[in-house]
Amino acid sequence: MLYLDHAATTPPRPEALDAMRSAGYGNPSGIHGVAREAKDLLEDARERAAALIGARPAEIVFTGGGTEADNLAVIGAALAAGASVVTTAVEHDAVLESAAFLRRMGHRVEVVGVDRMGRVDPERVAAATAAGPCVVSVMAANNETGVIEPVTDIVEAVRNVSSDAIVHTDAVQVFPSEPIDVDVLGVDLLTLAAHKFGGPKGVGLLYVRQGTKLEPLVHGGGQETGLRSGTQNVAGIVGMAAAMEAADADRERFRADVGEARRRFETRLAGIVEGFEINAPFEERLIQHSHIRIPGVRNDTVLIRLDRAGVAASAGSACQSGAADVSHVLLAMGFSNDRARECLRFSFGWTTTPDDGDIAAAAVLEAIAGLG
């Protein structure tokens, strides 16, 4: 299997698996030796994760994944401040559904559109922030197209209009190829998910800048400084920290190999497929994403043929990877339903070699033969 769906999930890195095997079984909330060992592993992982994004350990809240972290950020901040919400039309469902929930609870919600390449205008986001408390959530890079959003510019524009606004970014897709520094970004809240960079599924973190108030969504024993009750998944958290370190150390090699694979993939298809399109700005996108359109060819048919040929790809978000639903991201970018159903997402990752780009292009050409 040639796996080209890393944006959905990644194969676990050996470093993460090794760390998880040695994590033990203790409950870090206990007081005996086995529990203390688990607590030490937990806090060590917190320190390591914090260091990799320029945060303090106390600002890291471990969660059950990126979706939970997004919910805690958007809903937790809005409830704590009685705030309205400003977000964009291309966010992950975890953010959009959190905003929809808050709307049902009586909060004002403003959804800002994007241009035809999926880019958010910082001034439009800033203009949508109303007087009074506001939570702004704009993803660092889109999970479908890979488009990188100008988060730093958005934070600056929002602060110029509303100095007390709370800004969150879902950075789940970014970490494998781009370094993250929360102070450079200027955000108050930031989401990561372990399985997007070689860690285990079901583990994530939310960076919470010191002083940012959140209403917890999960109540109980008060773990994670009261923001996420429940016994922590120590093995998963240790695996996440190990995967973060491995991804950080591997980033230069990652960018070189993945960049070459994508270049070969797109160059070959562009030279052969009539009307071939890349649905993102050529430079303002993650190096691991290739979101393409092949005119006249349905993506569901191509995906079935690719799967039979041993190539794993997708039509977009893992939440919609069956291709039956039209991507809300593409609709927000102005695509018609028919045009959106001609789009495919190939996402490369840490297991990718440069030759994989050639292999993938050949597989696509074979899959579309006779179609259209």
pLDDT at 216 over 60: yes
Mean pLDDT of 228-249: 98
| pTM score of the predicted model | 0.96
Is residue 204 within 8 A of residue 222, CB to CB? The reply is no
Range with the poorest average pLDDT among 33-37, 134-138, 154-158, 317-321: 317-321
- pLDDT band, residue 371 (cuts 50/70/90): confident
Q: Tokens representing 67?
A: 């979706």
3-state helix, strand, coil in the chain (%, to 5): 45, 15, 40
pLDDT tens figures, 251-298 = 999 999 999 999 999 999 999 999 999 999 988 999 999 999 999 999
Mean pLDDT of 60-74: 98
pLDDT of residue 265: 98
pLDDT at 80 over 50: yes
pLDDT of residue 370: 85
CA distance from start to end of the chain: 26
Residues 6+ apart with CB under 8 A from 313: 4, 5, 303, 306, 344, 345, 346, 360
Residue whose structure tokens are 């309205």: 84
- On average, the pLDDT of the chain sits at 96
Rounded percentage of the chain residues whose pLDDT exceeds 90:
94
Identity of the amino acid at 286? L
Query: Of the candidates 371, 358, 208, 233, which has an alpha carbon nearest to the alpha carbon of residue 298?
Result: 371
pLDDT tens figures, 157-212 = 999 999 999 999 999 999 999 999 999 999 999 999 999 999 999 999 999 999 99
pLDDT tens figures, 318-328 = 554 444 679 99
Identity of the amino acid at 237? I
pLDDT of residue 321: 45
Map out the domains of the chain with their CATH numbers. Answer: 2-9+251-368 (3.90.1150.10), 14-249 (3.40.640.10)
pLDDT of residue 372: 67
Is residue 350 within 8 A of residue 250, CB to CB? The reply is yes
Rounded percentage of the chain residues whose pLDDT exceeds 70:
98
Please give the positions annotated as active site: 319
Q: Tokens representing 237?
A: 């958290």
Strands (E), 236-342: 277-278, 289-293, 311-312
pLDDT at 21 over 80: yes
Residue 318 CA to residue 4 CA, distance in Å, equals: 13
Residue 129 CA to residue 163 CA, distance in Å, equals: 10
Nearest-10 crossing angle of helices 299-308, 354-368: 120
Q: Return the bridge partners of 136, or none.
A: 86, 167
